[in-house]
Structure 1
């Protein structure tokens, strides 16, 4: 694995926590609530008998890093872990490729998922670029929270819309409403929640890393263009899950976090990014090889260099690991 040079911003979290004890949540496996002009190439899972490992790949040398989204890309909706995928990630890492989980999840939830996938102890991009962390040391290398005025406006506007908000501060989830969205989030991510009386008071005093608006998918589709227009140039607004709108500081993006990491990795080679959702678009455009899973959004498939079924990722990772350095 390429080594990370410890230059650049050091932005760990600071600040005390609210004096409230988290409530334990039961965690059943939940059901789901309701640049380039060239076309993508669909490739099979593996090189096949007698087929060169470079066949069908727009890159001819082993990548410096492979970054992949988590939910919907590495993990299907039921969160089943494919043992073949775990083995393939291990082969990438053994070949010296830096494997980066790049997710909208909070750090501790993303770290737990990375561990099950055989990517524990590595680097992670969490909160869709709001945090870059070293899982081996626990250090937050980059933290880009929302500015206070912007966070206050988000909470006030969400109240006018009557929407549910998930607010993440110091890698802890805070909500005002103990409703179906709270239950789904805590169950799906396997995390605890802190119920507070006033999210506005919380964000006025402590900068959130990310805010998520939860609503039915049809409402998300209707609200997304308006929210993007409202906070254009101030916040990054994107859809992750069909029922989530993610709201980050304007500086936070998956591509920005990966570019920061790439500049600090020793060695050369292309960057590969894999994703399925609209919040993956920027990193697929940024990468030397952008890979979309066939089960992902049509818009994501349209910008990708390669489209593979989710079940084909292990074969793709093995082909990348086998490329010459």
Structure 2
């Protein structure tokens, strides 16, 4: 690790402040990206593992918040040993559309929408794009196979109209022949009603219900835990983290994040390749510290 994060004027600097809840993105924040591919290494470094344990040891809550499906998030929770402190975890999945407890996995909150108009509009402009909808606990139904490693679990090829015939919590649209910039322009020009969107690092578009984001999912969790947003630390690197970083009392962007993510953050830590998340967590939860939190 290369030391202290970059300090911006708006960030919390009081030594008296310590987060009561830490919200963590997964891919590009806890897990390193595979260079050139839209997937991450399924491996947690010792520095990140120990830093997260330091948060739990201090008595704060750790909530994973990701665009991943629930079954792809519980695996990471296991790698981090998040449930080793005896409490069932709160997990925000599908970019906020699904909130679950674990273990065992139990969906406690879900928001769905009619994705048919948005999917049709996108496919009119990108007819060769791939479409995926989650099959809870199994994997995904897909219009055609995705690039290897981009979707976890089992995939089943299904007709698109059948996939979105009923309300869904999230739709993934992927075009390996396009770029992320292509999809940013596409989404901005669609004028989707009743549907929100977020573009990933590649030509990857997530469609979701209006108003649903990692922030809305975390708002639900914080309410259940009695934690004020001002007492939340959130760390992320992608466009789907923007609302979360703005909502939290302290929002921190990873060093490799795109400029639009860094622009909304209170601070920028080191990149994922040098354990930037661990650097930020150690700022508030020194590994040598012991004892619980006040209040």
Q: Give the TM-score normalised by the residue count of structure 1.
A: 0.74
What residue number does 1:246 align with? 206
What residue number does 2:98 align with? 131
Relative to structure 1, the CA distance from residue 132 to residue 192 in structure 2 (aligned partners, 3 Å threshold; closer, same or farther) is same
What residue number does 2:261 align with? 300
Give the counterpart of 2:157 among 173, 190, 195.
Answer: 195
Give the counterpart of 1:316 among 235, 259, 280.
Answer: 280
Structure 2: distance between partners of 1:248 and 1:183: 24
Query: Does the 8 A contact of 2:142 with 2:156 survive in 1?
Result: yes
Q: Does 1:276 align with 2:231?
A: no
Relative to structure 1, the CA distance from residue 313 to residue 216 in structure 2 (aligned partners, 3 Å threshold; closer, same or farther) is same
Q: Does 1:166 align with 2:132?
A: yes
SS at match of 1:63: coil
Q: Does 1:155 align with 2:119?
A: yes
What residue number does 1:63 align with? 19
Greater shift, 155-164 or 225-234, is seen at 225-234
Structure 1: distance between partners of 2:80 and 2:285: 17
Bigger relative contact order, structure 1 or 2, given CA contacts below 8 A and separation 6+?
1
Structure 2: distance between partners of 1:185 and 1:194: 14
1:232 positional shift: 4.1
Structure 2: distance between partners of 1:135 and 1:119: 10
Larger Rg: 1
1:114 positional shift: 1.9
SS at match of 2:82: coil
What residue number does 2:46 align with? 83
Q: Give the TM-score normalised by the residue count of structure 2.
A: 0.81
Query: Does the 8 A contact of 1:169 with 1:209 survive in 2?
Result: no
Structure 1: distance between partners of 2:180 and 2:195: 17
Q: Does 1:185 align with 2:146?
A: no
Relative to structure 1, the CA distance from residue 168 to residue 116 in structure 2 (aligned partners, 3 Å threshold; closer, same or farther) is same
Relative to structure 1, the CA distance from residue 184 to residue 243 in structure 2 (aligned partners, 3 Å threshold; closer, same or farther) is farther
Relative to structure 1, the CA distance from residue 302 to residue 44 in structure 2 (aligned partners, 3 Å threshold; closer, same or farther) is farther
Structure 2: distance between partners of 1:102 and 1:240: 15
1:283 positional shift: 0.6
What residue number does 1:208 align with? 168
Query: Does the 8 A contact of 2:175 with 2:203 survive in 1?
Result: yes
Structure 2: distance between partners of 1:236 and 1:267: 27
What residue number does 1:226 align with? 186
What do you get for the CA RMSD once the two structures are aligned? Answer: 2.4
SS at match of 2:150: helix
Q: Does 1:289 align with 2:289?
A: no
| Matched positions, count | 264
> Which sections of structure 1, spanning at least 5 residues, go unmatched?
1-42, 47-55
Query: Does the 8 A contact of 1:131 with 1:140 survive in 2?
Result: yes
Query: Does the 8 A contact of 2:118 with 2:195 survive in 1?
Result: no
